[in-house]
Amino acid sequence: MSTQSIPSVKLLINGEFVESKTSQWRDIVNPATQEVLARVPFATAEEMNAAVASAAEAFKTWRKTPIGVRARIFLKYQQLIRDNIKELAAILTAEQGKTLPDAEGDVFRGLEVVEHAANIGSLQMGELANNVAGGVDTYTLNQPLGVCAGITPFNFPAMIPLWMFPMAIACGNTFVLKPSEQDPMVTMRLAELALEAGIPKGVLNVIHGGAEAVDLLCDHPQIKAVSFVGSTRVGTHVYNRATASGKRAQCMMGAKNHAIVLPDANKQQTLNNLLGAAYGAAGQRCMALSVVILVGEAQSWLPELVEKSKTLKVGAGAEPGTDVGPLVSRAAFDRVSSLIERGVAEGAELLLDGRNVQVPGYADGNFVAPTLFAGVTAEMSIYREEIFGPVLCVMHADTFDEAIAIINANPNGNGTALFTRSGAAARHFQEEIDIGQVGINVPIPVPVPLFSFTGSRASKLGDLGPYGKQVVQFYTQTKTVTQRWFDEDEVGGPVNTTITLK
């Protein structure tokens, strides 16, 4: 296929989808077939600056838009997403590799945040205290910051953009989004629907690029806040660079999520949950359950866990019945394969090897089948590094407290889970575990948008989460007003006195 016949991904600047004038492009490749689906531009500095300037100009009027008008836009937007969810999932599957049900789930979890944004009328309300002194009232206003920016990863190209720009824009800000250059097409379709829902020109802008685009968003003086989801290496860079230039920043980063299985757990439900959490989305989730600690007699469940892992179907995401799709890129495939090899070299017991899997009709796909290591220790590379593939590491502990100590010793803190039938054990776990998000018989404890995403420790930089109530605080500045009104015949007090609080 000639370069001229390959579609190009556009930029969104000031309400218009425009062709980039850049000379630097990257192919978007179907990970199951290696077919080139489109080309994405690495925007020029002039184009990126134009996007920020457009957002800054739009903020002048958008910030004063009535809150009910903003809410109604997101009511319409959520309906448009619902109406187009099949199309969005198909685009996502083609460029990212997820199974179609998983792709629909990706879109739906983002849709939930859009629905939450439609409640901005209550979420953004301030507080008032009447008569804090004689005739004096104090109240707060939660006002928008200005231009905000988001940098999103390849693994959730629908959900995570929808975590970011709807809440920022609903709060009265304008936004510049940089989606992953590996799979931006579903993000651009979501941007089209956002304009159709009524978001005015300049309020949402989308640029594309790599490290230079990230740095421009972190450094630009007109951008007030940066939200990031992705690897720990890039997230640390973003946080340090953005905060050094005086911006607010929230960075959700890498993880190593553990589950503890106690002998009293419901065996079949637990094993099934472990499969989905470890191998779903080909393990390419920051909340993937990549380590299982079997405690005491639960260690005897290992052979059945291996056999169940063998039953999962590996294939192209669009094929019916597929459980595990391809990894997003050849580079990701090579990295996961290399880490499996290192696990063997470092002494882990490879009970199930997913390398060299054959998928009929997709000889060139980036496929790794479910892979399972036993006898994993904290010193091994497969434990220390985030594999980001369908690889499950099994550890063993003699006691519950020993298992908790293993988790608390890991530097990451995104999520953890416990499988048990004991309320006392669950209560002990949630009190003693030092992790931001805890599941009790729930393997991937990502909260619904009524609550905030609360990863912790090395998995997060910044105090506030990317959605829920916390994100309203992130995207607004609190202004406190203390006011007093005098009657016409009242005489003012002497000079240089303060309000007497009595």
Residue 149: which of 87, 219, 72 has the closest Cα? Answer: 219
- Helical spans, DSSP H, in 371-502: 381-384, 400-409, 423-432, 469-474
Integer Cα distance of 31 and 53 in angstroms: 36
Residue 404: which of 283, 270, 274, 295 has the closest Cα? Answer: 295
Strands 204-206 and 174-178: parallel
DSSP string, 473-496: HHTEEEEEEEEE---TTPPP--TT
- Helical spans, DSSP H, in 97-158: 100-117, 120-123
* Options 171, 218, 286, 393, the catalytic residue: 286
Coil, helix or strand at residue 140: strand
Q: What is the DSSP letter of 305?
A: H
Integer Cα distance of 176 and 169 in angstroms: 10
Rounded to 5°, the CA angle 376-382-386 comes to 130
Residue 179: which of 158, 196, 198, 193 has the closest Cα? Answer: 158
Q: Beta-carbon neighbour count of residue 306 at 10 Å?
A: 16
Integer Cα distance of 47 and 38 in angstroms: 20
Integer Cα distance of 425 and 462 in angstroms: 31
Integer Cα distance of 178 and 339 in angstroms: 29
For residues 340 and 349, the answer to whether their CB atoms sit within 8 Å is no
Q: What single-letter amino acid sits at 449? A: P
Residue 429: which of 457, 401, 456 has the closest Cα? Answer: 401
Q: Beta-carbon neighbour count of residue 495 at 10 Å?
A: 5
- Judge whether 393 counts as a catalytic residue: no
Active site residues: 286
